[in-house]
Amino acid sequence: MGAPSTEDGGKNARLRALPSIEQLLRRPSLEARLAGVPRARAVAALRLAVASVRERLLQGEERTFEDADVDEALRALSTPNLRPVFNATGVVLHTNLGRAPLALEAVARVASVARGFCNLEYDLEEGERGSRYAPVVELLTQLTGAEDALVVNNCAGAALLMLAALASGREAIVSRGELVEIGGGFRVPDVMKQSGARLVEVGTTNRTRRSDYESALTPDTGVLMKVHRSNFALVGFTAEVEVKELAVLGRARGVPVLVDLGSGALVSPPGEDFVHEPTVPATVAAGADVVAFSGDKLLGGPQAGLLVGRAALLARLRQHPLTRALRVDKMTVAALEATLELYRDGCLEAIPTYRLLTTPAPVLEARARRLLSLLALKGIHARVAPVSGQVGGGAMPAARLPSFACVLNFNQPAAFLECLRKADVPVIGRISDGDVVLDVRCLAEEDLEPVAEAVAMASQGRQPC
């Protein structure tokens, strides 16, 4: 073959010299590393290691295959793709970071029903088939004041279901100011189309009056619908018809009023940020016939779409085929029941979302100072600064959520954040005005030390970035 190594710098020779998986499995020096590793995982790790070295050779690196290359592959295979992170973004309900963290009580309940059998659809008193929603219906009706309740996969599904069951083939009247896009492809006009309802827009972007709804009502009207604007605010020269007024109109004309409330707080946390956020019980009390809301936004439970309202309408929803298609599993029912019990028992502080949203500023400042001193001990210079967080999850866009952060000045903040994401438990921060900002609102006390350690590792380039 001549001497190709002189022409390609030895690249081909090095590629040919890569060991086979069989050879590696027999290599005595790898025995200790692979001891106790199931054979299939060992083979997968060796393949991964060889592939990664091949890739680096092709990119021009001059190296050989080392036993240590297997370590990285073994680590990669034993690290789950979905895993915990530290949320230093200051966004409480971060859709990218799993939205609401569950209460310990909810986690324990999930674990207790998930590992064995449970009475998900079994009535223990009668010894016959029961309803999977039964465990939460009473809690939901008690907590919201509604007659009946139903649970589906998420609020997008809940909105689709109520429209499909109550307005398919008929008209659904919605204000132009509420034809929102929630994110993740949820656009009210598109959901409407999917449901088979015909959208009738009334009013203008900024102002809709009762008379707009009134004159759009026809014998073909199926529902009047209100959509919580959720992720944007309408300010200035505006007018909208409150649920209460719409309910009066709906009742007079025999047309149900549906409300897609989205964020769905069961109680209003203290603080001026929350004053204007409608709660589910207030919406029910105002006369809404069906209210749809999320389980994992302000409620702070598992992902779910909750529907509460009049018994006769909920009965129609329950019979619709979409209810089966959107049904929740036992883990959701378990987590939801445990979360709703905390509301019933008045243990709001046990619900992480509530706790995170209501942490007083002095507590946050003290926490930021503790992180600052942990960083100082590791030789990292930072400063504590007041910052604004967000509720997130498409809820309460105008809320400022005053918080505190450790602010770090690095030459390449984006590269530094990338390093932080490679920590054993990734740390997710943000950049503001060219600085790295670590908001402490969503960090627990016990998170501060590992976060400080990750920052130290990243800043000393000890993290493989």
Count residues binding ligand PLP (CB under 6 A): 15
Q: Does 156 bind ligand PLP (CB under 6 A)?
A: yes
**DSSP E strands, 40-170:** 86-87, 91-93, 122-123, 128-129, 148-152
CB of 229 to ligand PLP, least distance (A): 8
User: DSSP states of 108-134 as a string?
Assistant: HHHHHHHSS---TTEETTTTEE--TTH
The CA-atom distances, in angstroms, between 83 and each of 97, 162, 184, 224, 372 are 10, 34, 21, 42, 26
Of 262 and 352, the one with the shorter C-beta distance to ligand PLP is 262
Q: Convert residues 288-327 into a mask of x (bound to ligand PLP by CB under 6 A) and - (unbound).
A: ------x----------x----------------------
Of 73 and 182, the one with the shorter C-beta distance to ligand PLP is 182
Closest CA to 302 of 271, 265, 339: 339
Of 396 and 438, the one with the shorter C-beta distance to ligand PLP is 396
Q: Which of 250, 394, 413, 429 binds ligand PLP (CB under 6 A)?
A: 394
Q: Does 154 bind ligand PLP (CB under 6 A)?
A: yes
Report the alpha-carbon angle 214-219-223, nearest 5.
65
Of 399 and 443, the one with the shorter C-beta distance to ligand PLP is 399
Of 296 and 337, the one with the shorter C-beta distance to ligand PLP is 296
Q: Which of 69, 148, 212, 260 binds ligand PLP (CB under 6 A)?
A: 260
Q: Say how far apart CA 64 and CA 34 lie, in whole Å.
A: 20
Q: Which of 186, 274, 404, 416 binds ligand PLP (CB under 6 A)?
A: 186
The CA-atom distances, in angstroms, between 69 and each of 7, 58, 171, 457, 462 are 27, 16, 63, 21, 17
Closest CA to 395 of 99, 145, 189: 99
Name the residue number minimizing CB distance to ligand PLP: 262
Q: Which stretch binds ligand PLP (CB under 6 A): 19-27, 47-55, 257-265, 426-434?
A: 257-265
Where residue 304 falls (left for φ over 0; alpha for ψ -120 to 50; beta otherwise) is: beta
296 phi/psi in degrees, rounded to 5: -115, 25
Q: Does 182 bind ligand PLP (CB under 6 A)?
A: yes
- Would you give the end-to-end CA distance of the chain in angstroms? 39
Q: Convert residues 210-249 into a mask of x (bound to ligand PLP by CB under 6 A) and - (unbound).
A: -----------------xx-x-------------------
Of 42 and 288, the one with the shorter C-beta distance to ligand PLP is 288
CB of 323 to ligand PLP, least distance (A): 15
Q: Say how far apart CA 162 and CA 320 lie, in whole Å.
A: 9
Q: Say how far apart CA 340 and CA 338 lie, in whole Å.
A: 6
How buried is 239 (Cβ within 10 angstroms: 0-12 exposed, 13-18 middle, 19+ buried)? middle
Q: Produce one character per residue of 291-324: b if its CB has 16 or more CB atoms within 10 Å, e if not.
A: bbbbbbbbbbbbbbbbbbbbeebbeebbebebbe
Q: Which stretch binds ligand PLP (CB under 6 A): 14-22, 123-131, 153-161, 364-372?
A: 153-161
CB of 196 to ligand PLP, least distance (A): 18
Q: Which stretch binds ligand PLP (CB under 6 A): 45-53, 125-133, 155-163, 212-220?
A: 155-163
Are 164 and 322 a contacting pair, CB within 8 Å? yes
Q: Which of 87, 144, 175, 263 binds ligand PLP (CB under 6 A)?
A: 263
Of 69 and 178, the one with the shorter C-beta distance to ligand PLP is 178
Bridge partner list, 135 = none
Of 253 and 327, the one with the shorter C-beta distance to ligand PLP is 327
CB of 359 to ligand PLP, least distance (A): 23
State the residues that interact with ligand PLP by CB under 6 A. 154-156, 159, 182, 186, 227-228, 230, 260, 262-263, 294, 305, 394
